[in-house]
Amino acid sequence: MLLLDGCFIIELFLRYSRLDFGLLDDTIFTSSWMVSTLQRDLVLLENQIPFIVVECLFKLIVKPVNDDSLFEFALNFFQPVLQMNTRNICCFNRQIRHLLDLLHYCCLSSTPKATGPRRVETSFIPCATTLHEAGIGFEKGEVTKNLFELKFEKGLLKMPTLRIHKSTASLFQNLIAYEQCFHDRERLVTSYFLLMDRLVSTTGDVEMLVNKQIIENDFGSWEEVAGFLNSICKHLVVSQDFHFAGLCDQVNACYNSKWYKYKAELKRRYFTSPWTITSLTAGILLLSFAALQAVYSMLSY
């Protein structure tokens, strides 16, 4: 079974990466849904086979062209669902257990190390709409960055776009399951979706994050997206290694600041439409003219 599965995986990666390996009557590549189905099946935790088996078969049957490696073929095949740049990732000095372990290593190696305290953040942060009402903004992060590279600067939370469809949902679920299997694995993916679970409480949160291009929805309705994000980490606990604890501290500090709330209230009252902006500007001008007239009257007196 290992021999059959290993040869299938190698041939799949080769035909996907090299156009001259493809066949016109190949059922896999002539069906629009087959590749995405195989991407989902190959990341299932229960479908993993030892990477060393596939690697040994690869060295026996594949002629190296331009120093191609099995790592590069595998990452190229899973690139559409990884949502990160894998070009500068080197896996040669690390023992890879299986394909899912390879993808998990890519998530860790392309993400900056967390700064600040590494602990369980019991309060996390309020939901997205509550934060927005308190004056905290949301912005799409850089496209070329890693999905898990979140930044909070000057009251603005920058998050790369999370594309949710069936293939990515399956990948994230299995990465989380894999992180729970080993105590020595950094729980980066689990931490990210625990944070997303806190940000998304209702369909209104999903709608706002979709409008901000932080979530790209190919999964279903807003109710389905909210249900997915609220259930993916259900009954899971991150023990003493919550990756975004420092980020949560920064967001909560701004959320509890009265200045941000006053600024948000001012913007909501007077800067929501051209008419309110016009009336506010006119009021300021009239007040300025009245103050100037009072000053000139006092000077002349």
Do 171 and 82 share a structural domain? no
Do 100 and 75 share a structural domain? yes
The answer to whether residue 13 sits within a structural domain is yes
Which amino acid is present at 293?
A: Q
The answer to whether residue 243 sits within a structural domain is yes
30-60: per-residue pLDDT in tens?
777 888 889 999 999 999 999 999 999 998 8
Calpha distance 43→138 (Å, rounded): 31
212-233: per-residue pLDDT in tens?
999 988 887 888 899 999 888 8
198-210: per-residue pLDDT in tens?
999 899 999 999 9
DSSP 183: T
Calpha distance 137→72 (Å, rounded): 38
Calpha distance 82→106 (Å, rounded): 9
Q: Provide DSSP, 103-138.
A: HHHHHHHTSPPP-S--S--SS----HHHHHHTT-EE
Encoded tokens for 80: 């559409």
206 within 8 A of 226, measured Cβ to Cβ: yes
In the three-class reduction of DSSP (H, G, I as helix; E, B as strand; rest coil), residue 53 is classed as helix
Residue 206 phi/psi, 5-degree rounding, is -60, -45
Do 179 and 285 share a structural domain? no
Do 167 and 59 share a structural domain? no
The larger pLDDT score, comparing residue 74 to residue 28, is at: 74
87-143: per-residue pLDDT in tens?
666 665 678 899 999 998 888 876 766 655 555 545 578 899 988 888 888 988 876
How far apart, in Å, do the first and last CA atoms of the chain sit?
102
Do 185 and 140 share a structural domain? yes
- Write down the residue that tokens 């999903």 correspond to: 206
User: What is the span of the domain harbouring residue 271?
Assistant: 259-290
Do 193 and 82 share a structural domain? no
Q: Provide DSSP, 135-149.
A: T-EEEE--TTS-TT-
The answer to whether residue 279 sits within a structural domain is yes
User: In terms of Cα–Cα distance, which of 84, 78, 85 is closest to 99?
Assistant: 78
Question: What per-residue confidence (pLDDT) applies to 121?
Answer: 46
227-268: per-residue pLDDT in tens?
999 888 887 766 667 888 888 888 888 888 776 565 655 565
270-293: per-residue pLDDT in tens?
555 665 667 767 777 788 878 888
How many domains does the structure of the chain reveal? 3
